[in-house]
């Protein structure tokens, strides 16, 4: 069967704009990393259980691909979807590090939704798939839309394409497993600040390269300082000219040329 690529992303900037219950509203520029991706394929299997082949460090029930299956099944009630997952497993060639701020789990979930939509001819639009994906994770809608670059806001459900040339992004991921909920909690308790409307408008129009030129890593990502507080070893991994993606632990830079 055909293979599908699930690309990584970085956050050029990530600013908290407010709170919505237990969630934080954000404004962020998401950009795909074209040289880093997982590969997903449907492969035949013998038993009826839902099976994922791949290098994952969680139970199947906690895997974002399985959660995407459950959300898609709930939305469509598709018997064809049930039969597909009884006869086939999802094989994942995992290249995107986990707990790294690169969106690997969200990208896998979005790619699974797109695969099922295509293979089963479900006829769902990207908007409909994004709504389903948002039930799996805040970053999933971005990957559903497959934009090279986008402004992402709300709690991740508002995705607006941003027109700019693709960037040649290099990433490094220290072997530090970071808890996103803990980083957000530290931000809320010790670093909380909201972004003015004027600054939100300015950032939503600035190119990614200009944003990186004019901001320090601390200014670009509101989660960098709380992550440093919780995981001091990050400081030893941070090099000049590299920026922090998501809640970490990955750093990135844009290669010239």
CA gap 153, 241 in Å, rounded: 26
pLDDT of residue 166: 93
Active site residue: 38, 108, 139, 222, which one? 139
Which of these three, 161, 191, 226, is where a domain ends? Answer: 161
Examine the domain organization and report whether 44 and 126 are in the same domain: yes
**Regarding predicted confidence, which is higher, 22 or 117?**
117
CA angle 117-37-75, nearest 5°? 25
Q: What percent of the chain clears pLDDT 70, i.e. is strictly above it?
A: 100
Mean pLDDT of the chain: 94
pLDDT of residue 10: 98
CATH label of the domain that carries residue 91: 3.30.230.10
CA 38, distance to chain mean position in Å, is 13
pLDDT tens sequence across 24-52:
889 999 999 999 999 999 999 998 899 99
- Asked if 77 is an active-site residue, the reply is no
pLDDT tens sequence across 164-180:
999 999 999 999 989 88
Examine the domain organization and report whether 143 and 190 are in the same domain: no
Q: What range does the domain containing 227 cover?
A: 169-254
| The pLDDT of residue 257 is above 70 | no
pLDDT of residue 22: 76
Examine the domain organization and report whether 149 and 195 are in the same domain: no
Beta bridge partners of 15: 27
Number of domains present in the structure of the chain:
2
- Asked if 22 is an active-site residue, the reply is no
Examine the domain organization and report whether 80 and 204 are in the same domain: no
pLDDT tens sequence across 118-177:
999 999 999 999 999 999 999 999 999 999 999 999 988 999 999 999 999 999 999 998
Yes or no: say if 24 and 188 are a contact pair by the CB < 8 Å rule: yes
Active site residue: 5, 9, 55, 210, which one? 9
pLDDT of residue 250: 95
pLDDT of residue 152: 97
């Amino acid at each position: 069967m055909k293979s599908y690529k699930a690309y990584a992303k970085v956050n050029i900037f990530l600013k908290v704009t407010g709170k919505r219950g237990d969630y934080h509203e954000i404004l962020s520029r998401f950009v795909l990393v074209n040289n880093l991706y997982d590969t997903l394929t449907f492969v035949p299997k013998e038993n009826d259980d839902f099976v994922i082949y791949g290098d994952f460090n969680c139970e199947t029930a906690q895997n974002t691909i399985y959660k995407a299956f459950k959300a898609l099944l709930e939305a469509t009630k598709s018997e064809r979807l049930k039969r597909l997952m009884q006869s086939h497993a999802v094989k994942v060639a995992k290249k995107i590090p986990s707990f790294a701020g690169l969106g690997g789990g969200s990208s896998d979930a979005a790619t699974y939704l797109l695969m099922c939509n295509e293979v089963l001819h479900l006829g769902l639009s990207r908007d409909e798939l994004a709504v389903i994906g948002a039930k799996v994770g805040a970053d999933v809608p971005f990957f559903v839309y497959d934009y090279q670059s986008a402004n992402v806001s709300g709690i991740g459900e508002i995705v607006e394409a941003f027109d700019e040339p693709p960037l040649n992004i290099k990433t490094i991921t220290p072997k530090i497993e970071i808890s996103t909920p803990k980083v957000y909690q530290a931000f809320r308790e010790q670093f909380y600040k909201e972004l003015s409307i004027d600054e939100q408008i300015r950032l939503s129009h600035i190119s990614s390269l200009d944003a990186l030129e004019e901001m320090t890593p601390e200014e670009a990502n509101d989660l960098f300082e709380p992550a440093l507080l919780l995981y001091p070893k990050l400081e030893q991994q941070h090099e000049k000219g590299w920026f922090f993606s998501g809640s970490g632990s990955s750093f990135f830079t844009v290669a010239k040329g």
